[in-house]
Amino acid sequence: MAVLDMRDVSLTYHPAEGPVPAVRHVNLSVDAGEVVGVAGESGCGKSTLISTVLRLYPKSATVDGEVLVDGENVFDMKWNRMRAVRWGEAAVVFQGALHSLNPIQRIGKQLVEPILVHEKGATEASAMKKVRELLDQVGLPTRHVNAYPHQLSGGQKQRIMIALALTCDPKVLLCDEPTTALDVMVQAQILDLLKGIARERAMGMLIISHDLSVLSSNCDRIAIMYAGQVVEQGPALDLFQNPAHPYTRALMGAFPTIGDGESRYAPTGLPGDPPFPGDLPSGCSFHPRCPMATDECRTVDVVLEPIAPGRDAACIHVNQGVGAP
């Protein structure tokens, strides 16, 4: 059963310069115990997608579609209900743990606070007991309840952020670049920890990253975003081994392959930059950078369509059988 179900979700910002459609017609679901990854370049709408789940966007922004958390549409919730859903049913591990913790409060106090606020009948003693259990679960000594953030390493702070997100036993965990600024060994530990927690708690997890190789080994499914849209999605290993959309292939080519001397020294890049959401090109948004682009790509609005069992792509050439897996 889907604990998070995004149905035709769009979000548009409204600055003085004009509307900026940051997320466009996204359909994405996460089942209990499932880990789903979202990949794409900076500015493609990944973090904004997470903000729609808990309505963490400016009041001036407009949204369409439905975001169902455990079957209930967050866009229809009144403020008190929305407040209860945050932390209690869906929580976020924000990007940049170095800047997410209060530098003048001890770790224990910061972890206790959401429990006291959101759990009925919780006391300081019961909340601190739960905090110690959480620290143990994320692989940290319980003595860290008395530490200040500056006394911890980057990896330890990220584990604290994970514990903080788990304090109220959410059904959905949203992770926005959870391994940013961490070395590769710590990255692997954090991702293994997240995957293990999702399985153990039967909790749905959505992980955002720009690194497809990281997601492929830690997620069940992956969605690729470009210019606010999902342009390809499918089982992680299948998508990693057989990328269908030209943009997915470009993301794959940006990382060197171990054992491949040529790619090690000259990984293939992608010319140009993602389009500004407020000034999108006509037709397929990727066509100005796409090596497969034709005149048709400049005029036809592509949509996500099935290309194989469990696989979808938004590309007229792939959907016509060119380059399909």
pLDDT in tens, 298-320: 999 899 999 999 999 999 988 65
The predicted pLDDT at position 191 comes to: 86
The predicted pLDDT at position 258 comes to: 56
- Tens digit of each residue's pLDDT (9 = 90 or more) over 134-179: 999 999 999 999 999 999 998 899 899 999 999 999 999 999 988 7
The predicted pLDDT at position 230 comes to: 97
The class of domain 2-89+170-281 in CATH terms is alpha beta
Closest CA to 233 of 315, 159, 123, 130: 315
Determine the Cα–Cα distance for residues 290 and 304; give it in Å rounded to an integer: 17
Confidence of residue 325 (pLDDT cuts 50, 70, 90): very low
DSSP letter for each residue of 33-83: T-EEEEE--TTSSHHHHHHHHTT-S-TT-EEEEEEEETTEEGGG--HHHHH
200 or 256, which is more confident:
200
By DSSP bridging, strand 90-93 and strand 172-176 are: parallel
The predicted pLDDT at position 23 comes to: 97
- Give the CA distances from residue 275 to residues 115, 284, 287, 322, in Å, rounded to whole numbers and listed in that order: 42, 11, 10, 25
Confidence of residue 256 (pLDDT cuts 50, 70, 90): low
Within a 10 A sphere around the Cβ of 163, how many other Cβ atoms?
25
Angle at 123 between CA 81 and CA 205, to 5 degrees: 50
The predicted pLDDT at position 255 comes to: 66
Q: Is the pLDDT of residue 215 over 90?
A: no
The predicted pLDDT at position 252 comes to: 85
Q: Is the pLDDT of residue 323 over 50?
A: no
The predicted pLDDT at position 180 comes to: 74
- Tens digit of each residue's pLDDT (9 = 90 or more) over 108-117: 999 999 999 9
The predicted pLDDT at position 306 comes to: 93
What phi and psi, each to the nearest 5 degrees, are found at residue 22? -80, -30
Residue bearing tokens 């309840």:
145
Determine the Cα–Cα distance for residues 66 and 33; give it in Å rounded to an integer: 22
Q: Is the pLDDT of residue 68 over 80?
A: yes
Q: Pick the range with the lowest mean pLDDT from 71-85, 289-303, 308-322.
A: 308-322
Domain with CATH 3.40.50.300 in the chain: 2-89+170-281
